[in-house]
């Protein structure tokens, strides 16, 4: 695990030096000073190749003369006047990939100060370190032998600058990284390790941060009439559970109602009797991503003592096959009292959320609800891998979520709800059905429309369908292949910007 340290702004004696360069090969004051010390090696190296200081460009200068440094790594950050936190983060991500391929145990980052920089130098350096940290994540615990080329010797990134200011700027970012890693670990763990009980145990661990954790077992859920969620779990050998994590960070708030954050926690989705084809089972361990995102977010809010009252509710179950599995045609009764005809056993996420939403409203009376789920493959057809789908009943909530997403580069795009999609969920034998093939391409909308039937009048609600962005088959700027934990940085920002008391 990469450690981030803060050191005084001296030029390191050994290891690797990571130095920022602005667009058009522009060095800052520290860069010029170092270049002079190295006898002009930096400018010569830049002149000899394609490196121009563009965003995320990296140039390695091996074993420069006149020092004991292993290498100087130049890191492009683009135009200083256009710099953002995210540009710094992505640059940090690009740098760490290169640094991890080396033999050094430490690297020192010098973020130079450029004229007209749109982000102050401390924030820029902290965000570069944050990006490096996020991108350095590895899930390699199951390799009993790690090949040398997979091992990284890099243990620490020293950030040079004003130590106390850096510490302050990085402190929240470090907590966010911890929450992101917590969630990525849970998502990357296989379904024989993370199942409802073990996932609930991970929730319980959050109580040491001051979160009140309440676990409803199967018996309690039956008593509450959660026939919708229980239908999904009845084919699994693992008993289901529902966990509420309550963080009261603003006890003096006038409006006592909390913000509710909900997550789909299907620890494995086979599709049930409507069995998924073989290829579609790949990575279905990740169908609990929504729950992991909520858990990671709650962890961050509590660890940085956010002045907000928020409750995270996750419905945990598995969707597998057995003689007792729910069938197509079954009719179940949800906690809300509404009945549901099961028309597709693979549309199980909404069955889980229906009862989780009702419970959250019944018990915690939230002013707003944001649910997060890997609900519909169709969203990927509409949005590719770049956006999460956003559905809502409140335009101002939509704007807040989209803005929060933009500022952390976890982008959402609104998709429609409408009367026709709602009508498509009507059943001829019960109050509604859980899947409809009327507007096949609009699968995301119909899933959202189903969930909306469980949102009480007067409650603001948004549904984030993160099916396309929760997991990546290739490395991303801020995460390696696998779980991205998309949504945590967004929700953290959303709370910080709109729901925290001063």
Give the DSSP per-residue string, 459-499: -EEEEEE-TTTSEESS-BTTB-SEE--TTHHHHHHHHHHHT
Question: Containing H/E element for 301?
Answer: helix 289-303
- String of contacts with ligand BES for each residue 433-452, x by CB under 6 A: --x-------x---------
Q: How far is residue 346 from each of residues 230, 333, 343, 484, measured CA to CA in Å?
A: 14, 18, 9, 24
For residue 235, the partner it binds in ligand BES, Zn ion, none, with Cβ less than 5 to 8 A by kind, is none
Which residue's CB atom is positioned nearest to ligand BES?
A: 377
Binding part of the chain for ligand BES, among 95-103, 185-193, 308-316, 341-349 by CB under 6 A, reads 341-349
> Using an 8 Å Cβ cutoff, are 295 and 313 in contact?
no
> Using an 8 Å Cβ cutoff, are 154 and 99 in contact?
yes
For residue 218, the partner it binds in ligand BES, Zn ion, none, with Cβ less than 5 to 8 A by kind, is none
For residue 377, the partner it binds in Zn ion, ligand BES, none, with Cβ less than 5 to 8 A by kind, is ligand BES
Closer residue to ligand BES, CB minimum distance, 361 or 374 = 374
Give the number of other Cβ atoms within 10 Å of residue 380's Cβ. 17
* Best CA proximity match to 449, nearest among 383, 353, 381, 356: 353
Q: How many residues does the chain have?
A: 502
Phi, psi of 430 (to 5 degrees): -145, -175
- String of contacts with ligand BES for each residue 287-306, x by CB under 6 A: x-------------------
Q: Compute the least distance from the CB of residue 456 to Zn ion, in Å.
A: 25
Q: Compute the least distance from the CB of residue 276 to Zn ion, in Å.
A: 7
For residue 196, the partner it binds in Zn ion, ligand BES, none, with Cβ less than 5 to 8 A by kind, is none
Q: How far is CA 236 from the centre of its chain?
A: 27
Cα 105 from Cα 95, distance rounded (Å): 15
Site for ligand BES in 258-287 (CB under 6 A): 269, 271, 287
For residue 376, the partner it binds in ligand BES, Zn ion, none, with Cβ less than 5 to 8 A by kind, is ligand BES
Closer residue to Zn ion, CB minimum distance, 80 or 447 = 447
Residue 317, both tokens: 């179950």
Q: Which of 185, 346, 410, 465 binds Zn ion (CB under 5 A)?
A: 346
Round to the nearest angstrom and report the end-to-end CA distance of the chain.
34
Closer residue to ligand BES, CB minimum distance, 102 or 447 = 447
Q: Which of 344, 406, 411, 472 binds ligand BES (CB under 6 A)?
A: 344
The three-state secondary structure class of 238 is coil
> Using an 8 Å Cβ cutoff, are 276 and 346 in contact?
yes
- String of contacts with ligand BES for each residue 368-387, x by CB under 6 A: ------xxxxx---------
Torsion of CA 149, 154, 155, 161, to 10 degrees: -160
- The yes-or-no answer on residue 400 being catalytic is no
Q: Which of 349, 388, 480, 487 binds ligand BES (CB under 6 A)?
A: 349
* Best CA proximity match to 362, nearest among 311, 292, 289: 311
Total residues in contact with ligand BES, by rule CB under 6 A: 16
Residue 99, both tokens: 């640094």
Name the CA radius of gyration of the chain, rounded.
Answer: 24
List 204, 276, 363, 403, catalytic entry: 276
Q: Which of 269, 318, 410, 465 binds Zn ion (CB under 5 A)?
A: 269
Site for Zn ion in 272-291 (CB under 5 A): 287
349 binds Zn ion per the rule CB under 5 A = yes
For residue 443, the partner it binds in Zn ion, ligand BES, none, with Cβ less than 5 to 8 A by kind, is ligand BES
Total residues in contact with Zn ion, by rule CB under 5 A: 6
Q: Is the alpha carbon torsion for 361, 364, 369, 374 positive or negative?
A: negative
For residue 76, the partner it binds in Zn ion, ligand BES, none, with Cβ less than 5 to 8 A by kind, is none
List 350, 400, 489, 493, catalytic entry: 350
Closer residue to ligand BES, CB minimum distance, 162 or 283 = 283
Closer residue to ligand BES, CB minimum distance, 80 or 389 = 389
Closer residue to ligand BES, CB minimum distance, 47 or 381 = 381
For residue 344, the partner it binds in Zn ion, ligand BES, none, with Cβ less than 5 to 8 A by kind, is ligand BES
Q: Which of 42, 382, 467, 491 binds ligand BES (CB under 6 A)?
A: 467
Please, which residues have CB within 8 angstroms of residue 254's CB and are 6 or more apart in sequence?
none
Which DSSP category does 239 fall into? P
For residue 185, the partner it binds in Zn ion, ligand BES, none, with Cβ less than 5 to 8 A by kind, is none
- The yes-or-no answer on residue 286 being catalytic is no
Give the DSSP per-residue string, 153-204: ---EEEEES-HHHHHHHHHHHHHHHHHHHHHHHHHHS-TTTS-HHHHHHHHH
341 binds ligand BES per the rule CB under 6 A = no
Q: How far is residue 324 from each of residues 1, 233, 234, 332, 341, measured CA to CA in Å?
A: 44, 9, 6, 14, 17
Helices (H) then strands (E): counts for the chain: 15, 19
Cα 396 from Cα 403, distance rounded (Å): 11
**Residue numbers of the site for ligand BES (CB under 6 A)?**
269, 271, 287, 344, 346-349, 374-378, 435, 443, 467
**Residue numbers of the site for Zn ion (CB under 5 A)?**
266, 269, 287, 346, 348-349
Catalytic residue numbers, as ranges: 276, 350
């Amino acid at each position: 695990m990469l450690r981030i340290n803060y050191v005084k702004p001296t030029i390191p004696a050994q290891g690797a030096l990571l130095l920022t360069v602005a667009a058009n090969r522009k060095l800052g004051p520290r860069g010029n000073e170092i270049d002079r010390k190295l006898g002009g090696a930096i400018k010569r190296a830049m002149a000899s190749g394609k490196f121009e200081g563009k965003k995320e460009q990296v140039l390695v200068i091996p074993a420069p003369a006149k020092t004991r440094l292993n290498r100087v790594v130049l890191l492009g950050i683009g135009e200083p006047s256009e710099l953002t936190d995210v540009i710094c983060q992505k640059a940090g991500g690009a740098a760490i990939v290169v640094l991890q391929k080396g033999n050094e145990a430490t690297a020192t980052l010098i973020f130079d100060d450029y004229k007209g920089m749109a982000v102050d130098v401390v924030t820029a350096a902290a965000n570069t370190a944050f990006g490096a940290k996020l991108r350095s994540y590895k899930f390699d615990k199951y390799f009993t032998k790690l090949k040398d080329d997979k091992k990284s010797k890099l243990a620490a990134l020293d950030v040079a600058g004003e130590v106390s200011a850096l510490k302050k700027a990085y402190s929240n970012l470090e907590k966010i990284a911890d929450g992101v890693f917590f969630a990525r670990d849970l998502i990357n763990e296989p379904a024989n390790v993370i199942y409802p009980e073990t996932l609930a145990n991970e929730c319980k661990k959050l109580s040491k941060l001051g979160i009140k954790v309440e676990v409803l077992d199967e018996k309690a859920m039956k008593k509450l009439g959660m026939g919708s969620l229980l239908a999904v779990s009845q084919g699994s050998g693992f008993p289901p559970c529902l966990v509420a994590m309550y963080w009261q960070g603003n006890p003096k708030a006038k409006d006592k109602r909390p913000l509710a954050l909900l997550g789909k926690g299907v620890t494995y989705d086979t599709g049930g009797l409507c069995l998924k084809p073989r290829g579609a089972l790949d990575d279905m361990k990740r169908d609990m991503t929504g729950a992991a995102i909520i858990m990671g977010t709650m962890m961050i809010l509590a660890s940085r003592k956010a002045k907000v009252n928020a409750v995270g509710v996750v419905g945990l179950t598995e969707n597998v096959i057995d003689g007792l599995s729910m069938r197509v045609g079954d009719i179940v009764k949800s906690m809300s009292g509404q009945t549901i005809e099961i028309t597709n056993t693979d549309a199980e996420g909404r069955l889980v959320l229906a009862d989780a939403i009702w419970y959250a409203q019944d018990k915690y009376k939230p002013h707003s609800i944001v649910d997060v789920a890997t609900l519909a493959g169709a969203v990927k057809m509409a949005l590719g891998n770049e956006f999460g789908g956003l559905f809502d009943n409140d335009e101002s909530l939509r704007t807040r979520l989209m803005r929060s997403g933009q500022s952390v580069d976890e982008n959402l795009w609104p998709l429609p709800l409408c009367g026709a999609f709602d009508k498509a969920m009507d059943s001829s034998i019960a109050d509604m059905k859980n899947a409809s093939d009327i507007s096949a391409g609009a699968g995301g909308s119909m899933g959202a429309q189903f969930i909306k039937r469980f949102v009480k009048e007067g409650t603001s609600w948004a549904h984030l369908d993160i099916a396309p962005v929760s997991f990546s088959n290739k490395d991303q700027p801020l995460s390696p292949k696998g779980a991205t934990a998309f949504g945590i940085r967004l929700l953290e920002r959303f709370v910080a910007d709109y729901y925290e008391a001063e």
